[in-house]
Structure 1
Amino acid sequence: MFKIRTVSGSSFTQTVILPYGRRTRRPWPFRNRCTLINWAPKTLDTTIRFLQSVSYAFVMASTIAGSVSCLGQSYPSKPIRIVVTVAPGSGLDARAREIAQGLPEYLGQPVVVENKPGGGGIIAAGAVAKSAPDGYTFLLGGVSVVSYYPVLYKKLPYSADDFVPVSLLATGPTTVYANPSVPATSLKELITYAKAHPGELTFASPGEGTFQHLAGEMFRSRAGVSMLHVPYKDYSQLVTDLQGGRISVLFDSTGALMAHVQAGRLKAFAVTGAHRIAGFPNVPTFAEAGLPAHDAAISYGLLAPQGTPQAIVETVSFACAKERLSRFGFTPRGTTPAEFKQFIGEERARWSAVIKETGVQLDF
């Protein structure tokens, strides 16, 4: 079980949960470690918030302990498989492997990454939807596969209801990248040039219906420009063509091609979000650049087949190594399953409006 210990200093009080009891052969999420609950200044006006934090600690401790108890401490008893929606070598693949490296520390079993690219994540989603809901198969990819794909596509090999949300792993801003040969030095100049030369500029994506595609459609609509969409099956080829000038523009996460911009192989015109980011201190936000309506943000999450025991879902959600994602320019989230479910609903509403606005409708 658990005990609460309070450690006092000159101007703070630190409360932690400490586990104790019989040790098990398999590593357990809290064994040999403590979990920080709150740093509470010793003032009266923070007492209520401090007590709320301690109460939350008891709830979390009870949830995790209850989950393990319900499963008879038998989960997991074999390696866990995470199916990723993209090919090896992409930014999302790197993030998935970061998570896979961290999870065994908490779950006590290896985590294997299996890449299933194609269809903008639809192929991977379809495969996981048909997997046994036993807690040994998960889907890691863009939240789009369950948020707006059911609206964007007339027919899919799965339903959003075929999945149970586990954890919203990360959200992050996106950037408009361009080949250095594009005759513009700012977002305003890019829009001006695109309006003066309708259909001349191209924007790429790793497939129809992907986030990059919808972000480009949002830009076309809200900037009032005409650009040709060029979908790719191979992301590495997309990057090669963007650097080579065969493609003009790409809308993608800020971390995806940051190194190429810093090396001068590409240029970046603007980033989404309320603030500039550390990796691109000289790149303005879309609002600063004059197009605040473009607010495309990217998000990644972990999903399980519908029917996966709630105890397993809670355990894996809590174990997600969310802190590792910050190095890729993303904001780690690590939400609860309930919070992730709410986020999916919000994203579906937001992108459904974009789909209606642009008139995009796809077949798979």
Structure 2
Amino acid sequence: MAEVVIRNVKKVYQSRDKKRRGEQVVAVKDLNLTVQDGEFMALLGPSGCGKTTTLRMIVGLEGITEGEIFIDGKVVNDWSPAQRNVAMAFETYALYTHLTVGQNLGLCLKAKGVSSGQIEERVKHVAEILKITDILNIRPSHLSGGQQQRVSLGRALIRNPSVTMLDEPLSHLDASLRLETRIEIKRLHQRVKGTFIYVTHDQLEALALADRIAVMNFAELQQVGDRKELYDTPANVFVADFVGEPPINLYYKSRLESRNGDLYAITSGGEYAFKVIGDKKEAIQSRYSHKAVTVGIRPQHISLSPKENAEALTGRGALFEFLGEIGYLTVNNNGLDLSLLN
């Protein structure tokens, strides 16, 4: 296990686009992040936000333009991937199809000159952890996607790395296998108690697996926190919109208005009036009373009123999605949607 510290890291590269040849592209900008010893950290964000580039810089597959990366208290900017003692499981499993599962697992140890007896022992140990002992003599082409992913994880773990990196490991699996493999990854982390860094664009994966989540967008870190912090107190509109399922209701260019001693947030066209409550009401009124505001309301925080209520919002049901025990209802009032769980 090891702590990973990223300090003021920037990554700039030359554009490969013919139309932008010679232009500098900022892939990661002024990144500061600490992954604690033994922590499961997720890097979450849309495609192109810089999360995989960050992972590759930690591993040593990409150089950094500015800043420092520390692993276990040591600056590793100039260290090779082998010197860093980190391992990476790729989005594409990168297994050797002419070798068996056991041979794939032991290949990196063989390259290091580890004895055949030790290799056999380590392969058996990792296979037991990942529950793949019954496929050690099978070649990857005969495995399911979930089995191939476990073998890929095994190749990373067999080296006893200080840090294990996982780059979109579930993206090629179908829904049922994603859930199954996600559970296995969580159990694996609990068992080996290592430092894991997990890259994903899927917020459900990040929320389910990680101790903390670092949200990135446009090459910059937006917020770091546990699932509750990101969900309840997002740092900005992007985090509020990106984290949470179903998505948050967002109403831009709204305004604050006092009515009979109460404070309301009114949508731009007057379609909805949301009553502001709680201990932050006065601070909100003082700071934003003469400014346009963005109102965000989680669908989980809205419920249907069983009868007419003066405090209730009104609208016409426009769409209902059946999700099993709950339903996702979209209500419309003068062209503006409001979504809630029912």
Give the structure-2-normalised TM-score.
0.24
- Relative contact order higher in (CA < 8 Å, ≥ 6 apart): 1
Higher helix share: 1
When Rg is computed on C-alpha atoms for both structures, the one with the higher figure is: 2
Higher strand share: 2
